[in-house]
Amino acid sequence: MTEPATQQSLNEALDRMWKQFLPQIEERIGALEAAGAALAEHRLSEHEQEAAHAAAHKLAGVLGTFGLTKGTVLAREAEILYSGDVDPAETPKLIEIAQQLRELIASRT
């Protein structure tokens, strides 16, 4: 196979994988959105925080695979913020991260 054909095959494979994993990616962003909303209402449970932390961790890993480096950086930031005692002052930042991730995903599809 020539180099351009190899690159084309790789791009097609990544596009197939993207379509396969997109529902999980969207679900994980949903977990971040739900946690941000709960935090804004001062009712973030330990379970929601753990789910947001896990979702952010998984997003940080998978988004880089698809060339979405900005998404990896954003998700890593959310992962750090959800890793310990969440400061309510970080609520706007966490909501913004989830929104930016949602927009980034929409731009990739």
The amino acid at 95: I
CATH number for the domain harbouring residue 77: 1.20.120
Tens-of-pLDDT digits for all 109 residues of the chain?
Answer: 456 778 888 889 888 999 999 999 999 999 999 999 999 999 999 999 999 999 999 999 999 988 899 999 999 999 999 999 999 999 999 999 999 999 999 998 6
* Tokens 């097609």, located at residue: 12
Structural domain boundaries, residue 61: 3-108
Q: Looking at the 3D structure of the chain, how many domains does it have?
A: 1
Alpha-carbon distance 105 to 108, whole Å? 5
Instruction: Give the per-residue pLDDT at 8.
Output: 85
Rounded to a whole number of angstroms, the CA Rg of the chain reads 16
Q: Is 43 left (phi over 0), alpha (psi -120 to 50) or beta?
A: alpha
Q: Is 104 within 8 Å of 70 (Cβ atoms)?
A: yes
* Tokens 């929601």, located at residue: 48
Instruction: Give the per-residue pLDDT at 1.
Output: 47
